[in-house]
Structure 1
């Protein structure tokens, strides 16, 4: 499961209301290879695709492809608005290491594969 905080849901709702899409639209959460620690988050406003896992959190549809799900399961998506910047933040219990800038991460399975 992937959840979204009240503040995160509010920001997603604001975007979706100002940019209507056809079909079931929501916040897509995924990962891709890259960055200094191995994986980077992919967050996008998108429509549901075949094979997506979907969750409802805070009245928002959260979408995730099946390949990304093992790396983000249990995560919470929040929206932060601070003097240093604003944006979505992922709190991921699967992360075992992250880069200093916070844009990439590593998970336990990845470390085991890297060690072989």
Structure 2
């Protein structure tokens, strides 16, 4: 019933980088992009991404031709987030953003 709902999105720039990594870094067949959390307790949680095989407890999606796996227990932490890719003089890498927060408020 909820299989078509994607809790997370991937920006065009991030999708290009993910596909490039999958093609050039010998990511094994059957692996996809895992999006989830680590940590918990007093320190809170950190959002993570990496490559992994699908597990029995995962929700599976395809976003921009990328298989995406999210553990069902992690879904509430990533709903509404977007995986983006930043490249600047100081650093480059993937990050999570809230696309709704970056839209200017048009109401006065």
Aligned length: 92
TM-score, reference length from structure 1: 0.70
* Structure 1 pair 37–20 and aligned structure 2 pair: CA distance change class (3 A): closer
Root-mean-square deviation (CA), in Å? 2.0
Q: Give the ranges of 4+ consecutive aligned residues of structure 1 lying more than 6 Å apart after TM superposition.
A: none
Whole-angstrom CA distance in 1 between matches of 2:13 and 2:41: 27
* CA offset digits 1:2-49 (Å, max 9, x no partner): 1101111111111111213132x2211111125985111121111212
State the distance in 2 between where 1:92 and 1:33 align.
20
1:13-24 alignment, distance < 5 Å: 13-18=19-24, 19-23=26-30
* TM-score where L is the length of structure 2: 0.74
Aligned-residue offset at 1:81: 0.7
Structure 1: unaligned runs, 5 residues or longer? 94-116
Report the Cα distance in structure 2 between the residues aligned to 1:13 and 1:59, rounded to whole angstroms.
8
Deviates further, 10-19 or 47-56:
47-56
Displacement of 1:67: 1.2
Q: Return the alpha-carbon distance in structure 1 between the equivalents of residues 67 and 53 of structure 2.
A: 10
